[in-house]
Amino acid sequence: MNPEKSGGGAWRMWFGRRWLLVGLGVLFILCVARMGTDFVSHTPGSDPWASTLRFFSGAISPSFSDENTSLPADAEPFLVRLGYDLLRTLRYALIATSMAIPAGLILGFFASEQWWPDNRLRKFFNLIRWPVRIFLSLLRSIHELIWAIFFLSAFGDAPFSACLALALPFAGTLAKVFSELMDEQVRSARHVITAAGGSGAQGFLGGILPGALPDMISYSLYRFECALRGSAVLGFIGVETIGLSIHRSFENAYYGEVWTALYALIALVICIEGIGHFVRARLTNGTPRKVVPVLEERSLRKTAPRDHWLRFTGLAWMVAIVMAFTIGAPLVKSMTEDQRADRISRFLTKLTPDPVAPEKSLATWDERKEAWSGGEVLPWLADLWEKPGKEALTNTLAMSVAAVILAGLAAIILVPWGARSLARGRPLAVEMAGGIFHRAFGVIVRAFFVITRAVPEYLYAFLLVGLMGPSAWPLIIALALHNVGILGRLWGEVVENQAPSNARTVLQVGGGRLQAFLATLVPMSLNRFILFFFYRWESCVREATVLGMLGVSSLGYYISIQQNYRAYDDILFFTLLGAAVIIIGDLLSDGLRKKLRVTR
| Extended strands (E) in 458-549 | none
Whether the pLDDT of residue 427 is over 90: the answer is no
Q: What gap in Å lies between CA 45 and CA 304, rounded to an integer?
A: 73
Percent of the chain past pLDDT 70, that is, above it, reads: 83
Residue in 353, 379, 331, 360 with CA at minimum distance from that of residue 155: 331
* Domain ranges, ordered by start, for the chain: 27-56+380-598, 76-290+305-330
Domains 27-56+380-598 and 76-290+305-330 share a fold: yes
**Residue 374: DSSP 8-state:** I
* CATH class (in words) of the domain with range 76-290+305-330: mainly alpha
**Architecture of the CATH domain 27-56+380-598:** Orthogonal Bundle (1.10)
Higher pLDDT, 298 or 13: 298
Q: What gap in Å lies between CA 180 and CA 290, rounded to an integer?
A: 34
The helix-helix angle for 159-183 and 122-141 (nearest 10°) equals: 140
pLDDT in tens, 511-555: 888 888 888 888 888 777 877 887 788 888 888 888 888 888 788
Q: Which of 160-164, 298-302, 534-538 has the lowest mean pLDDT?
A: 298-302
Residue in 219, 168, 183 with CA at minimum distance from that of residue 110: 183
Alpha-carbon distances, residue 541 vs 140, 141, 326, 548 (angstroms): 12, 9, 36, 11
Whether the pLDDT of residue 9 is over 50: the answer is no
Higher pLDDT, 121 or 217: 217
Q: What gap in Å lies between CA 182 and CA 187, rounded to an integer?
A: 10
| Reported confidence tier of residue 8, pLDDT bands at 50, 70, 90 | very low
Q: What gap in Å lies between CA 553 and CA 388, rounded to an integer?
A: 9
Terminal-to-terminal C-alpha distance of the chain: 16
Average of per-residue pLDDT values in the chain: 80
Higher pLDDT, 68 or 479: 479
| Reported confidence tier of residue 3, pLDDT bands at 50, 70, 90 | very low
| Reported confidence tier of residue 10, pLDDT bands at 50, 70, 90 | very low
- Give the pLDDT score at 6: 41
Q: Which of the listed ranges 290-294, 526-530, 555-559 does the model predict with the highest average pLDDT?
A: 555-559
- Give the pLDDT score at 340: 82
pLDDT in tens, 78-106: 999 999 999 999 999 999 999 999 999 99
Question: 193-223 burial, b if ≥16 CB within 10 A, otherwise e?
Answer: bbeeebeeeebbeebbbeebebbbbbbbbeb
Whether the pLDDT of residue 14 is over 80: the answer is no
| Reported confidence tier of residue 286, pLDDT bands at 50, 70, 90 | low
Q: Which of 3-7, 23-27, 147-151 has the lowest mean pLDDT?
A: 3-7
Contact in structure between 143 and 546 (CB atoms under 8 Å)? yes
The mean per-residue pLDDT over the stretch 145-161 comes to 86
The mean per-residue pLDDT over the stretch 53-75 comes to 86
Q: Is the full-model pTM beyond 0.85? A: no
Element (H, E) at 117: none
The mean per-residue pLDDT over the stretch 392-410 comes to 91
Q: What gap in Å lies between CA 366 and CA 592, rounded to an integer?
A: 46
